[in-house]
């Protein structure tokens, strides 16, 4: 079984780690860092680019693809499913569980600017949180800070605090914060230091359960005792430290795939 992941950066690794713990398989992670962050790209660009990357993963033998990015899911997953014969698992903000627990107090969705303005997110809120006080906060800076932390182990505490202040989240602290970007779980320690009384919600466990269910139905399960390998593909060149980190993150193979996007 080969399972593919797509994100513009390292955010999807926060999902892959949880999925890999539940589902033994060969994993292929595509990081489209040539166009990081997706949160600042148009819907047309994301749909076209995700089709390119999905085709790449299928060429590499992927039996199932996880769109490990909220922005890409909200803007492209519906267009991908009719184009390809493999199942797609998307990543959407945890609006439903947040509404079930925090409708009375309200909650805030922390995501990229593109996710915050998407009709998909507004549809989730209308469906699962009608009448609930729901705020949104869009940040591309937190994506950049998560990248710095994961790749270079930089201390980003003060920068995260400054960004939360800019977003108004330190002045009006939410009871619950939906982490609507897969990069943001990597900053959970910094977020919790700034918002010690806030509950954080993400969807990694739900996605892992969904992948496990699809693999079980398909019957194409890799034995836990089988030797399996993990491939990391980046669209932008990696520096020496990043190449070392790829191995530290559990990948034994690396490729640089530099094909440009067909839509800008």
**Best CA proximity match to 221, nearest among 24, 8, 65, 11:** 24
Torsions phi, psi for 252 (to 5 deg): -100, 0
What's the domain count of the chain?
A: 2
Chain segment 78-131, per-residue pLDDT in tens: 999 999 999 999 999 999 999 999 999 999 999 999 899 889 999 999 999 999
pLDDT at 225 over 90: no
Predicted local confidence at residue 255, as pLDDT: 97
Q: What is the pLDDT of residue 33?
A: 97
**Residue 116's domain spans which residues?**
95-201
Q: Verify that 32 and 121 share a domain, yes or no.
A: no
**Per-residue pLDDT at 221 exceeds 60:** no
Asked if the model's pLDDT at residue 223 lies above 80, the reply is no
Residues 102 and 173 in one domain: yes
Decide if 116 is catalytic: no
SS (H, E, C) 225-242: CCCCCEEEEECCCCCHHH
Residue 34's CATH number: 3.40.50.1860
Query: pLDDT confidence of 228, banded at 50, 70, 90?
Result: confident
Do 87 and 100 reside in the same domain of the chain?
no
What CA–CA distance (Å, rounded) separates 51 from 45?
Answer: 10
Q: Are 152 and 135 members of one domain?
A: yes
Active site residue 264: no
Mean pLDDT of the chain: 94
* Residue 180 maps to a domain: yes
CA distance 195 to 193: 6
Residue 81 is assigned to a structural domain of this protein: yes
In a domain, 186, yes or no: yes
Band (pLDDT 50/70/90 cuts) for residue 51 is: very high
Strands (E) in 107-252, as ranges, are 107-111, 134-138, 176-179, 199-201, 230-234
Same domain flag for 102 and 66: no
Catalytic residue among 103, 132, 157, 181: 181
Q: Let me know if residue 99 belongs to a domain.
A: yes
Q: Are residues 80 and 208 in the same domain?
A: yes
Question: Taking the model in full, what pTM does it have?
Answer: 0.93
Using 50, 70 and 90 to split pLDDT, how confident is the model at 29? very high
Query: Distance between CA atoms of 31 and 187, rounded to whole angstroms?
Result: 19
Q: Is residue 57 in a domain?
A: yes
Same domain, 47 and 13: yes
Pick from 103, 86, 190: which is nearest to 141 by CA?
Answer: 190
Q: Could you tell me if 103 and 193 lie in one domain?
A: yes
**With 80 as the cut, is the pLDDT of residue 258 above it?**
yes
pLDDT at 224: 55
Asked if the structure places residue 161 within a domain, the reply is yes
209 and 134 within one domain:
no
84 and 210 together in one domain: yes
Does residue 49 sit in the same domain as residue 10? yes
The pLDDT > 70 percentage for the chain reads 96
Same-domain check for residues 154 and 220: no
Q: What is the pLDDT of residue 39?
A: 85
The reply to whether 261 falls in a domain is: no
Q: Does residue 222 or residue 114 have the better pLDDT? A: 114
Q: Would you place residue 220 in the very low, low, confident or very high pLDDT band (cuts 50, 70, 90)?
A: low
Of the residues 69, 116, 157, 194, only one is catalytic, namely 69
Give domain status of residue 263, yes or no. Answer: no
């Amino acid at each position: 079984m080969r399972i593919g992941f797509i994100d513009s950066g390292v955010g999807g690794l926060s999902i892959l780690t949880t999925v890999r713990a539940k589902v033994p398989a060969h994993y292929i992670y595509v990081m489209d860092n040539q166009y990081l962050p997706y949160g600042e790209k148009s819907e047309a660009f994301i749909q076209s680019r995700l089709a390119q990357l999905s085709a790449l993963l299928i060429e590499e033998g992927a039996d199932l693809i996880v769109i490990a990015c909220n922005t890409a899911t909200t803007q492209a997953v519906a267009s991908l499913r009719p184009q390809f014969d493999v199942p797609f698992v998307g990543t959407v903000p945890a609006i439903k569980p947040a509404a079930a627990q925090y409708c009375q107090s309200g909650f805030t969705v922390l995501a990229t600017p593109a996710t915050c303005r998407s009709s998909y997110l507004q549809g989730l809120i209308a469906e699962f949180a009608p009448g609930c006080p729901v705020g949104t906060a869009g940040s591309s800076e937190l994506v950049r800070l998560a990248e710095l932390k994961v790749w270079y182990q930089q201390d980003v505490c003060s920068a995260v605090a400054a960004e939360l202040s800019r977003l108004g989240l330190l002045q009006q602290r939410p009871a619950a914060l939906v982490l609507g970007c897969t990069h943001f779980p990597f900053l959970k320690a910094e977020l919790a230091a700034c918002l010690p009384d806030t509950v954080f919600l993400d969807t990694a466990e739900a996605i892992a359960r969904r992948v496990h269910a699809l693999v079980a139905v398909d019957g194409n399960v890799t034995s836990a005792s089988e030797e399996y390998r993990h491939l990391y593909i980046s669209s932008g060149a990696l520096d020496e430290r990043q190449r070392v980190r790829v191995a530290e993150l559990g990948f034994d193979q690396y490729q640089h795939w530099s094909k440009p996007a067909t839509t800008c």
